[in-house]
Amino acid sequence: MSFGRGTNISINGKSFSIPNADISGLTADSLSKLSGLHIDGLI
């Protein structure tokens, strides 16, 4: 993943743009929740 002015993440065909300011908190929090939803018990 490359971090430019913002980071684009595509999930299930939906694209999200995340400003660099939100990267540290948002990815850790949101992706862990998404991971929990899709691969519950694996992590």
Q: 43 in a domain, yes or no?
A: no
Q: 24 in a domain, yes or no?
A: yes
Average pLDDT over residues 31-41: 58
Q: 23 in a domain, yes or no?
A: yes
Q: Which residues touch 35 (CB under 8 Å, ≥6 apart)?
A: 42, 43
Q: 21 in a domain, yes or no?
A: yes
Q: 1 in a domain, yes or no?
A: no
Number of domains in the chain: 1
Q: 29 in a domain, yes or no?
A: yes
pLDDT at 43: 45
Using one digit for the tens of pLDDT, what is the confidence trace for 3-23?
A: 456 677 777 888 777 665 555
Query: Which residue carries 């743009």 as its tokens?
Result: 17
Q: Which domain, by its residues, includes 23?
A: 6-38
pTM: 0.28
The span from the CA of 9 to the CA of 12, in Å, is 10
